[in-house]
């Protein structure tokens, strides 16, 4: 192998590692997914041409080839102990009093870290290279999941900087962000697979899979939170250790902080009671540690947990009510979900009367029965869930048994023995048809006024529509529409007018409405901006789609599969024959508009428009819309109830706009939001 090839290979490896760090650790990517994939392909080609250059720590070697034979166990270099829990500020004050008494101090400094709802792991590095990753296991031994952890690009295979430690062990939490978990579940449901119950269970299952190529597809992240034997590395405090890990290129939670004394610690905990609702990941409390490692050593351990740390659990928002009945809900992909119908109760300012029961297994595990008094919980924007039965709460009904037939169409239900989900596999099931049509007409899609759940129910029950394309033939059946109960002549005229207007809706809205897997509002915008017309997109193969910024292999495959499938071609043909001519994307303005080259992030609720509308208008004015804040963000547009993106903008010194400022900028670009469809 020539020295030139060797230098090029090493240069590419370093460059890819840098981009991995920028994207997965820092959160400030410099290149598109397409550009990254090209770099990775160039490196793989060079390594294939020069097999003697192969290195197990190369970015191309993150995913093992073939299935793993199983997981061996390995002993932890130091026990992984759990922290004691405290559930009130009074208990936390008592913890502080014990610490001060044992140390003989009047005041103690604490490190405060969000308690991420994930799976604890230990990572080992030798000479700066990642060599082993273990689960917590029983605290003394854990499963060796090194191959799976290597697929996480937020875990560097090589540490950064000079004077790297000869040996280093760090510990952290692998987790899934709420939004990524939701998108993953949507993709699974679209693919006919069962949705996961929660991010933590999904994370646990992902890390124990034997196929690393499948693990690599899961949206796993990591935050590192401790250094084993920190004194070996000259570290004096927990906050110092967190900063040191960051300098090594390890991903550390930016929301970590410190508090001097109990009064300051209490204020931090009180702020987190509301701040936690804006986090992109699940958390049920704070991890509080004595900051000084010398003080930690002096405090020592009990038989089960350290005396220098405690987990402060947030207060839960619970209410007691009665389980009136259990109904079955059939989704647009056929999954049948049992839903608890509750005696209405107010929780966090909202009247709650329904909550999901997930599946038959969950009902059996918690033994929910009609007539039970049950406890429900809701936190922030989280969907209410039924926690438990109140013992001795009265007369109980019989055990719930999932029916064998679809409650809507009567088709025999099917359940994979390896999954919890039960499905109706009839694609013409009215419940599935209803859901797909409602999505097609929803505000974020084609926004067809008057076409909500009730109207769709009437249309499907009357046999007037079997899919969304049938909507464009309803004008031929106006006389039958008027005959439908509660649909008067005026309502019918308004509905038909709304359907007619939707024929020339913007292309991105139509793409979002169709419901192609992985194509939400943002991706639909990107595709419309690049291809301009439905015809051009429908003829684009995977290679052409991969040329589009933000479009990776999974999305490209999904889009091409739809447009080249018989069902997809037939659906588009029927739309076209009915006169659907989506508005072509005006690409010239976007290239030279007054917001060209500027990136915006949207957060909170806007009063005069939806966030989808705002994103579309910004792009028409030449700007870009991103989902994450970085130093390259021009401005964050904040509505009411903004999330953590606003906090990050202030930290980075990024300009913050309100809605009137955005409207003024759009007006200068010749775009008036008020004239856009609502």
Q: How far apart are CA 453 and CA 201, in angstroms?
A: 33
- Residue recorded with tokens 């804006």: 278
* Nearest one of 511, 449, 457 to 484, comparing CA atoms: 457
CA distance 323 to 310: 36
Active site residue 115: yes
Q: Which of 115, 289, 378, 624 is catalytic?
A: 115
Contact yes or no for 447/509 (Cβ under 8 A): yes
Sheet containing 109-116: give its strands across: 85-86, 309-313, 283-290, 109-116, 257-260
The answer to whether residues 67 and 210 touch, using CB atoms and an 8 Å cutoff, is: yes
DSSP code of residue 195 = P
**Using CA atoms, how far apart are residues 357 and 511, in angstroms rounded to an integer?**
33
> Rounded to 5 degrees, what angle do the CA atoms 471, 475, 478 make?
115
Is residue 149 within 8 Å of residue 135, measured between CB atoms? no
Buried b (16+ CB within 10 A) or exposed e, 99-114: beeebeeeebbbbbbb
d(CA 514, CA 521): 11
CA distances (Å), origin 248, targets 60, 242, 374 = 21, 10, 49
DSSP 204: H
Rounded-to-integer distance, Cα 488 and Cα 32, Å: 52
Q: What are phi and psi of 657, to 5 degrees?
A: -105, 150
Q: Which of 584, 533, 527 is nearest to 552 (CA)?
A: 527
- Which DSSP string corresponds to 585-639? P-HHHHHHSTTTT-EEEEESB-SSS-HHHHHHHHHHTT-EEESS--TT--EEEE-
Q: What DSSP letter does each residue of 93-105 carry, written as one string?
A: HHHHHHHHHHHT-
| Residues with active-site annotation | 115
């Amino acid at each position: 192998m020539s020295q030139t090839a060797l230098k090029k290979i090493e240069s590419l490896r370093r460059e890819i590692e840098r981009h991995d760090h920028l994207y997965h650790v820092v959160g400030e990517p410099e290149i598109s997914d397409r550009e990254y994939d090209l770099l990775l392909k160039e490196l793989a080609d060079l390594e294939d041409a020069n097999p003697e250059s192969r290195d197990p720590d190369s970015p191309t070697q993150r995913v093992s080839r073939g299935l793993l034979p199983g997981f061996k166990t390995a002993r932890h270099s130091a026990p992984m102990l759990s922290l004691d829990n405290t559930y009130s500020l009074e208990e936390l004050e008592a913890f502080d009093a014990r610490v001060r008494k044992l140390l003989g101090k009047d005041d103690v400094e604490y490190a405060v870290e969000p308690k991420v709802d994930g799976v604890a792991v230990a990572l080992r590095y030798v000479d700066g290279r990642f060599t082993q990753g273990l689960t917590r296991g029983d605290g003394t031994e854990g499963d060796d999941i090194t191959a799976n952890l290597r697929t996480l690009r937020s875990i560097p295979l090589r540490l950064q900087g000079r004077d790297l430690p000869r040996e280093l062990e760090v510990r952290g939490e692998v987790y899934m962000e709420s939004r990524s978990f939701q998108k993953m579940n949507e993709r699974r449901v679209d693919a006919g697979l069962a949705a996961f119950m929660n991010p933590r269970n999904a994370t646990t299952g992902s890390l124990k899979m034997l196929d690393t190529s499948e693990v690599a597809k899961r949206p796993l992240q990591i935050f590192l939170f401790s250094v084993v034997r920190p004194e070996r590395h000259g570290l004096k405090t927990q906050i110092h250790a967190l900063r040191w890990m960051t300098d090594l290129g390890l991903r550390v939670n930016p929301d970590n902080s410190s508090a001097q004394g109990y009064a300051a610690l209490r204020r931090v905990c009180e702020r987190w009671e509301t701040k936690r609702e804006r986090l992109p990941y699940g958390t049920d409390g704070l991890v509080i540690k004595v900051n000084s490692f010398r003080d930690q050593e002096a405090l020592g351990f009990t038989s089960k947990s350290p005396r220098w740390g405690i987990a402060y659990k947030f207060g839960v928002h619970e209410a007691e009510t009665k389980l009136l009945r259990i109904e079955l809900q059939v989704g647009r992909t056929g999954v049948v979900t049992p839903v608890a119908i509750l005696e209405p109760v107010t929780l966090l300012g909202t009247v709650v009367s329904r909550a999901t029961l997930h599946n038959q297994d969950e009902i059996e595990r918690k033994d929910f029965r009609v007539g039970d008094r049950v406890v429900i919980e809701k936190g922030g924007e989280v969907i209410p869930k039924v926690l438990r039965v109140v013992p001795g709460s009265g007369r109980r009904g019989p055990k719930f048994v999932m029916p064998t037939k679809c409650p809507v169409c009567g088709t025999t239900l099917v359940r994979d023995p390896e999954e919890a989900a039960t499905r109706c596999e009839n694609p013409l099931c009215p419940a599935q048809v209803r859901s797909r049509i409602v999505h097609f007409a929803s505000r974020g899609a084609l926004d067809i006024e008057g076409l909500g759940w009730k109207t769709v129910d009437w249309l499907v029950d009357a046999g007037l529509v079997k899919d969304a394309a049938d909507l464009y033939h309803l004008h031929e059946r106006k006389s039958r529409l008027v005959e439908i109960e509660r649909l008067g002549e005026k309502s019918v005229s308004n509905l038909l007018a709304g359907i007619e207007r939707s024929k020339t809706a913007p292309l991105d809205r139509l793409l979002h409405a169709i419901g192609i897997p992985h194509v939400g509002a943002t991706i639909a915008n990107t595709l419309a901006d690049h291809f301009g017309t439905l015809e051009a997109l429908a003829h684009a193969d995977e290679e052409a789609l991969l040329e589009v910024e933000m479009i990776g292999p999974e999305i490209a495959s999904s889009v091409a599969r739809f447009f080249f499938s018989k069902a997809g071609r037939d659906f588009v043909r029927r739309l076209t024959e009915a006169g659907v001519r989506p508005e072509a994307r005006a690409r010239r303005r976007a290239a030279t508009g007054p917001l060209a080259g500027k990136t915006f992030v949207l957060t909170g609720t806007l009063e005069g428009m939806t966030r989808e509308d705002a994103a579309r208008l910004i792009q028409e004015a030449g700007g870009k819309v991103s989902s994450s804040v970085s130093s390259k963000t021009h401005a964050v547009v904040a509505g009411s109830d903004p999330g953590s993106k606003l906090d990050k903008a202030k930290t980075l010194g990024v300009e913050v706009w309100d809605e009137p400022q955005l409207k003024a900028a759009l007006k200068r670009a010749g775009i008036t939001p008020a004239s856009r469809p609502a």
